[in-house]
Chain A
């Protein structure tokens, strides 16, 4: 994984850094020419290379001639790239596959950036009602508060927790702890969401290499296994969904992933969930089955999801503090769980987790990919 942040670097440069780190990290060595397929998540980094972006990225990572393609599902692009890579291995078509993602957004002018923000909601109806994603998630938050009494303090507690984790992650965009007071005093972006309820605009890249069961031990003695993969979609616009306080795509993707792994939510030791906004983490912990519907707001407040809690959520800092380079986020979640399960997460290491989960959402929940990992 490249550093995440406002970096002044190009997409191919960030992607190459993530890719070569992945290759170099393989214990017994890996020749990139053995990679059979490449799946690259990206929104299109601000229009920089909309067509054939994957070829540009793999070419500059010196993977000339590999079958490559861009996978685009908004913020869930590389969650889906990872799933596609997993399915390629699982099908027996390829025994060594790359899943990655990249985004660069900070090089855009202000007006151009505003045309790229919110492109993954329903453009014809939600956007033309004046919304980008803060507004869409704000309405979901307003509804969650209305139905379940969720409070601004509970939202802020998610931000405080994730910033505390991000402070220990050398690759995070925001490496500063924040206080509840600071979060609650930050400017309102889209009522009831304040600045610290929202993730930033991030550049970055992440890569993961998947190997078939038969060949994995050629590369390492300590592989992390994909135990389950689930994905689902939903109405693009939130107004078309039956509920605005439940992401049906998350519920269904999680169900499929858990069934594949033959596990339940109780078995999960660590989770990287899609917290593009603080309300999104609250929805996620409910929809993934870690809390009852309506009670997700309590988890961060009570410390359950803190790094030392019963179920650490977003030990990397999450999208909130680590950063959210749209197309790279899903792969970066897998990167974190990989490190955590191997005990290689440094200052932010959770004590010996066995089962890890990643949860990657596209937009306001139109797409979702969930993966479960273990020994």
Chain B
């Protein structure tokens, strides 16, 4: 019977209690919600979908994915980008939108699995995009779920409605991901490939103040940084290296095998100019580091710095050898030390000319 064979999920590391929220905001309309998860400034539906998908694909061969369905209730078109960040052909990706996008995507996946044996990776993700000053914002949490559907798997029962879910109490309303996240908690772990212990993951969260919550909530458009009048990386130039930026894919020289990251035009070892892609291990060690304070951020990162404060940047020595400069995230900047173990995460980098540039950052391993 068609159903789920593998799963993964992502809940941001930060949360706010309804009590702290109500006290500071003066309102909290979310019956049955005791606390809700909070996305970082550099996270959105797309980055969380990639995080959930990456976790699922850690234990599953990429070849098993025939179709990627990306579901969110927001007006975000992201399936192709999520696919590319996961190493899936974007031609296999489709967007499903609407309040019940998660259920629609899963139902559709089960139908084509049982009828045509087509295997679908369903990823539902949600992050609030309301006006944080309104009560509409109150119940909205953030998170993502990834489910791999095949012709032989654990069938979908419909699951408990989101309002009855114990998960909702801890995560908040996560829109298109609500039903799927609840469903995840009903699955028998022994029958599913991947970590589905949502309750366990919620135990080690960091609680933020309402002030910090507002800082982490991005506003619609960056002020004054839309058009560069000096340093500038065009979108085509940026995207020409997207396998490196999205997935940490390096290049090995076909002659002398030397590995380069980021890509370069001629091998530093032997001068050859032919390459083979080599996905690098996504872990490394902080080799050198700094905390960017007032006056030292490029304009592209001014909005982020004004909202969330000083940030950490480091040269990371990857476990496969090459070094790369990257921003650090999900970490207290002053706590970063040379020698600290880090892992790659896919995040928003900056926005310019109406486009969000995505790429890698590093977070504590």
Residues of A at the B interface (CB closer than 8 Å) are: 46-47, 111-112, 114-119, 122-132, 134-135, 138-140, 142-143, 146, 187-193, 237-240, 244
- Give chain B residues whose Cβ lies under 8 Å from the Cβ of A146: 288, 338
Q: Chain B residues with Cβ under 8 A from A111's Cβ?
A: 224-225, 229, 299, 302
CB of B201 closer than 8 Å to a CB of A: no
- Binary A-proximity of B293-312 (CB < 8 A = 1, otherwise 0): 11111111110000000010
On whether A115 and B228 interact (CB within 8 A), knowing A125-B324, A135-B296, A142-B288, the answer reads yes
Judged by a CB distance under 8 angstroms, whether B60 is at the interface is: no
Tell whether, in the assembled complex, residue A115 and residue B233 are in contact, meaning their CB atoms are under 8 Å apart: no
**B349: Cβ under 8 A from any A Cβ:** yes
A residues near B291, Cβ cutoff 8 Å: 188, 190-191
User: What does the 1/0 interface line of B314-341 toward A look like (CB < 8 Å)?
Assistant: 1100000011111100000010001000
Whether A114 contacts B324 by the Cβ 8 Å rule is: no
Q: How far is the CA of A209 from the CA of B109 in the complex (A)?
A: 77
Q: Given A117-B298, A135-B296, A188-B291, do A128 and B349 touch, yes or no (CB 8 Å)? A: yes
- 28 CB contacts below 8 A, A to B, read A47-B229, A111-B225, A111-B229, A114-B298, A114-B302, A123-B231, A124-B237, A124-B262, A125-B262, A125-B325, A126-B325, A127-B298, A128-B350, A129-B326, A130-B292, A131-B313, A135-B290, A135-B292, A135-B313, A139-B289, A139-B313, A143-B338, A146-B288, A189-B293, A190-B290, A237-B325, A238-B315, A239-B325
Given A47-B230, A117-B298, also A191-B290 (CB < 8 A): yes
Tell whether, in the assembled complex, residue B288 and residue A132 are in contact, meaning their CB atoms are under 8 Å apart: no
Q: A residues within 8 A CB of B297?
A: 114, 130, 132
Tell me the complex Cα distance, A205–B118, Å: 69
Q: How far is the CB of B350 from chain A (nearest CB, A)?
A: 7
Among all A-B residue pairs, the 7 with the closest Cβ atoms: A115-B230, A138-B290, A114-B299, A139-B288, A191-B291, A116-B230, A239-B323
* Chain A residues, CB < 8 A from B323: 239-240
Given A114-B297, A130-B311; A124-B241 close (CB under 8 Å): yes
Nearest-Cβ distance from residue B208 to partner chain A, whole angstroms: 22
Q: CA separation between A139 and B324, bound complex, in Å?
A: 12
Q: Are A119 and B230 in contact (CB under 8 A)?
A: yes
Give the interface centre of B229, B301, B357 by most chain A CB atoms within 10 Å: B229
Q: A188-B293, A244-B288 are in contact. Are A239 and B229 (CB under 8 A)?
A: no
Chain B's closest residue to A139 (CB) is B288
**Minimal Cβ-Cβ distance residue in B for A115:** B230
Q: Which of A46, A115, A139, A240 contacts B231 (CB 8 A)?
A: A115
Of all chain A residues, which has the CB nearest B325?
A129
Q: Which residues of B contact A188 (CB under 8 A)?
A: 291, 293
Which chain B residues (344-358) contact chain A, with CB distance < 8 Å? 349-350, 357
Q: How far is the CA of A159 from the CA of B262 in the complex (A)?
A: 36
* Shortest Cβ gap from B36 to chain A (Å): 29
- Interface pair B357/A128, CB less than 8 Å apart: yes
Name the residue of chain A whose CB is nearest to the CB of B238: A124
What chain A residues lie within 8 Å of B229 (beta carbons)? Answer: 47, 111-112, 115-116
Are the C-beta atoms of A190 and B230 separated by less than 8 Å? Answer: no
B359 within 8 A of A: yes
A47–B225 Cα distance when bound, in Å, is 17
CA distance A34 to B288 in the complex (A): 52
Closest to B304 in A: A130
| B249-299 at interface with A (beta carbon < 8 Å) | 262, 287-299
In the assembly, what is the distance between CA of A125 and CA of B290, in Å? 16
Cross-chain contact A143 with B231 (CB below 8 angstroms): no
**Which of A118, A139, A187, A193 has the most chain B CB atoms inside 10 A of its CB?**
A139
- Give 1 or 0 for each of B155-186: 1 = CB within 8 Å of chain A CB: 00000000000000000000000000000000
B293–A142 contact, CB under 8 A?
A: no
B233: which of A117, A128, A138 is its contact (CB, 8 Å)? A128
- Whether the Cβ atoms of B288 and A134 lie closer than 8 Å is no
Contact A130 B313 (CB under 8 A): yes
Inter-chain pairs besides A111-B225, A130-B301, A238-B315, 4 sampled, C-beta below 8 Å: A115-B229, A118-B231, A128-B357, A190-B292
